[in-house]
Amino acid sequence: MVDIPGLPARRAVLKMGDAVLRRGETLDQAAGAAMQHLRSGPDRALARAIAGEVLRWLVDLDALIDSATRQRLPDDAKARAVLRIMLAQWLRLDTPPHAVIATALPLLAGGPRRLAHGVFSALVKRAVALPPAPALPGAVIARWGDRAAAIAAALAEPPPLDLTLKTHADTGLWAERLGGVSLMPGHVRLARGSAVENLPGFDEGAWWVQDIAASLPARLLGEGNRARVLDLCAAPGGKTMQLAAAGWQVTALDMSARRCERLRQNLARTGLNADVVTADALQWDAPEAFDAVLLDAPCTATGTCRRHPDVLHRIGPRQIAEMAELQAQLLQRAVTFCKPGGTLVYATCSLEQQEGEEIASHCALTPDPVRGEELPQGVSPTATGHVRTDPSQLADHGGIDGFFIARWRK
């Protein structure tokens, strides 16, 4: 039997949603398995777009579904999953209702197709719409408190594409050549949807993809002047490349051999140098102390919810507590790698206080408060001299990932 055009992509979306919501996989992990049979680039892009919009607007899509059923469908019902896919295509990707029905109802072969058809048709007839910003799950609102509404408002659209430049002096040149805008020296922001490998400067290694928030921790170490820096948990290498470009002698350590290989490939493309070490930071013994240490610690990555909306649904207290325990151990270890008089920067791409402020409060080193002039306009240090970004900041320019950053002197 020949598949209906577009049906394999929808099947992949169904598998991705199940892997994220039932098994707790990341969307990236789920996509690898679910899309392995999709050969066409456009089909893969469509499947990923539908899955992303389902997860971004999940609470609102479910509310619409519930408004059109006499008896609430179970959360894990296949009919609910298919209706989410149908509504996301119609309301977010502007797919005509007849095309939505043709490509989605076959997913319920042998199941409640009539129910799904009836619910979707009723919602189309009512001309329903999604709110201006996606609703967050209740557990997320409880954790983020007063920040939740502003963050939610910034999640309505996927983020733009940020590039970090190898040579800050060329910012104006690359902004003009790429047709982007710069929010600080060494940065260019482009509209989303750009094919990275086809952009000018990619082959020559003039820049790399890195959200502007992710570029801040390395920037806070300043110019290296050939001093030695340890980049812990370094792969895939954005911060390593920043440090090397800023004149540091970089030792980049990561426990994943696969990710270290990707780091080496990125260094080769950009023509930058670093000593790459594959090891567990909690077990590795440094041959000597470093002038500076950068620890961008493993975390729940809830700060990346603009591009990874799966974190809104699969991250909870257990994952946060596990990561916080690891982060505390890594920070203690990072202190031992830093020489007296040296600088230590700690960062996580998390919006959770447990992974940021609470971890930093236990560091006994002397605080080195971040100054406003070290940050892009629109981002300010906290009263304690730390950095706390969230997607609501720089909203007029497309937002920013959520990060926590602290700096100390030893």
Three-class DSSP labels, the chain: CCCCCCHHHHHHHHHHHHHHHCCCCCHHHHHHHHCCCCCCHHHHHHHHHHHHHHHHCHHHHHHHHHHCCCCCCCCCCHHHHHHHHHHHHHHHCCCCHHHHHHHHHHHHCCCCHHHHHHHHHHHHHCCCCCCCCCCCCHHHHHHHHHHHHHHHHCCCCCCCEEEEECCHHHHHHHHHHHCCECCCCCEEEECCCCCHHHCCCCCCCCEEECCHHHHHHHHCCCCCCCCEEEEECCCCCHHHHHHHHCCCEEEEEECCHHHHHHHHHHHHHHCCCCEEEECCCCCCCCCCCEEEEEEECCCCCHHHCCCCCCHHHHCCHHHHHHHHHHHHHHHHHHHHHEEEEEEEEEEECCCCHHHCHHHHCCCCCEECCCCHHHCCCCCCCCCCCCEEECCCCCHHHCCCCCEEEEEEEC
Catalytic residue among 233, 260, 338, 349: 349
Answer yes or no: 349 catalytic. Answer: yes
Q: What residues are paired with 250 via a beta bridge?
A: 229
The vertex-241 CA angle with 161 and 330, nearest 5°, equals: 100
Could you give the residue numbers annotated as active site? 349
